[in-house]
Amino acid sequence: MAEFKEAPQGASMVEKTTVWFENRFPTAFAEYKKHLSEYYAPKNFNFWYFFGSLALLVLVIQIVTGIFLVMHYKPDANLAFASVEYIMRDVPWGWLVRYMHSTGASAFFIVVYLHMFRGMIYGSYRKPRELVWIFGCLIFLVLMGEAFFGYLLPWGQMSYWGAQVIVNLFAAVPFVGPDLALLIRGDYVVSDATLNRFFAFHVIALPLVLLGLVVAHLLALHDVGSNNPDGVEIKAKKDASGKPLDGIPFHPYYTVHDIMGVGVFLFFFSAIIFFAPEMGGYFLEFNNFIPADPLKTPAHIAPVWYFTPYYSMLRATTDPMVNVFAVLVALGTVGALLKVRASGMGKVAMIVGGLVVIALLKTFDAKFWGVVVMGGAVVIMFFLPWLDYSPAKSIRYRPTWHKYMYALFVVDMLVLGYLGIQPVSEVYTLIAQVGTVFYFGFFVLMPWWSQVGEFKPVPDRVTFQPH
């Protein structure tokens, strides 16, 4: 048994209470020191580093508001829509809790997208933080599932038909598709069984997985240390006591610093809740204020805005697009044969592999490949640590034209997101196809373009201007 500490003579009540708890729960205090007061973060964090803590804040908002919503929500196809209306109209402050939850869903994706983009431009996925990035991508994947399952629960028109369209995509999987779709729905159409399944996943299963991944993400981050805008490892330069020369304790410096980001976020978050909770139909679609009707299909079915870039890629994958993929695979195989030094058997393997991929592209229909493209758009981000060959982590020390590449990537995602909301047309489909090719080209060709250009010298220490 460890020796008990004694409070110093003349200690205040707070100090005595702290010592009392520390004697009886030393593990908590050790973890507090490891992850807050003695966790040294780079001293040159900028505003991009607000979004990690904001994502944690929104997660707490979603959990707390979700608990209050579950108290009054009824996962029954005959009662679900009415229970949401009851929350909105009769439960004291129910409208506020519901709008906090619905706005929080969009806010979650906004801060996560910005958090991921910060990781991309500063190379936060590079060695030794590959596992931190993978945990982050898993969080993003689970978050998408959580949002999808929660989207059906209001049992409005867009909820019902959106779920119908997305679940039917699984039917396009060869051989097992129809049975897989039936398993997900629990019936031959979206019904009460589907609602109960989605409710269980949204309220219990995925939140547990999400919380576990968030903890793993933070633990992995604190084990290897935070990246910074310069991409310099602060652990390389330490003082005599072993503390990083360019690091400062996360608490109290960054816990106080993040209060500013929280204040600005809550200002905009509250403004949306009180003045524009539907956000023009982007956060809450107008069709979702109409009860679900299996006999009346809405004129235009589209997912919520944070899914639309991937939905746009799905719709862009037509038969001509599959032919384009086949040509790209053929060109890629020829390019690999000309560039890669391989033995005769290696070249034969490349040719056979290319022919097999082309044969698969021509064997299955475009709907299936659309599902593959939509899923691949998320999965390819997992491989980012091994696609980036740049000598410099941070965008600060890369060639200027790299900034334009990342700017084009953002524009591409915004355009695809916009097209995913619009009705299908030939022009929009063509633009979405170009955007899809650019999206995958950005990652697939990264091993080449990330090395091209004149790089600036990376400093040994972080650059920091006190303020």
CATH number at residue 438: 1.20.810.10
Looking at every residue in the chain, the average pLDDT score rounds to 91
Whether 48 and 170 share a structural domain: yes
* Residue 120 forms part of a structural domain: yes
* Residue 466 forms part of a structural domain: no
Whether 177 and 42 share a structural domain: yes
Whether 259 and 379 share a structural domain: no
Which residues, in sequence order, are bridge partners of residue 247? 42
* Residue 287 forms part of a structural domain: no
Give the end-to-end CA distance of the chain in Å, rounded to a whole number. Answer: 47
Please report the pLDDT score of residue 2 as a whole number.
Answer: 58
Distance separating alpha carbons of residues 217 and 463, to the nearest angstrom:
27
The pLDDT confidence band at residue 73, using thresholds 50, 70 and 90, is very high
Asked if residue 115 belongs to a known ligand binding site, the reply is yes
Whether 277 and 337 share a structural domain: no
Whether 139 and 268 share a structural domain: yes
396 close to 229: Cβ distance less than 8 angstroms: yes
* Residue 277 forms part of a structural domain: yes
pLDDT in tens, 141-161: 999 999 999 999 999 999 999
Cα–Cα–Cα angle for 134, 139, 144, rounded to 5 degrees: 125
Please report the pLDDT score of residue 79 as a whole number.
Answer: 95
For the residues 311-333, what does the mean pLDDT come to?
88
For residue 342, pLDDT over 70 is answered with no
Whether 120 and 39 share a structural domain: yes
* Residue range(s) defining the domain that contains residue 359: 305-449
Specify the number of domains making up the chain: 2
Asked if residue 101 belongs to a known ligand binding site, the reply is yes
Please report the pLDDT score of residue 30 as a whole number.
Answer: 87
Asked if residue 222 belongs to a known ligand binding site, the reply is yes
Look at phi and psi of residue 316 and say left if phi exceeds 0, alpha if psi is from -120 to 50, else beta: alpha
- pTM across the whole model: 0.93
Please report the pLDDT score of residue 14 as a whole number.
Answer: 87
* Residue 358 forms part of a structural domain: yes
For the residues 52-66, what does the mean pLDDT come to?
97
Please report the pLDDT score of residue 237 as a whole number.
Answer: 86
Whether 146 and 192 share a structural domain: yes
For the residues 246-261, what does the mean pLDDT come to?
92
Whether 96 and 226 share a structural domain: yes
* Residue 161 forms part of a structural domain: yes
Please report the pLDDT score of residue 173 as a whole number.
Answer: 85
Asked if residue 251 belongs to a known ligand binding site, the reply is no
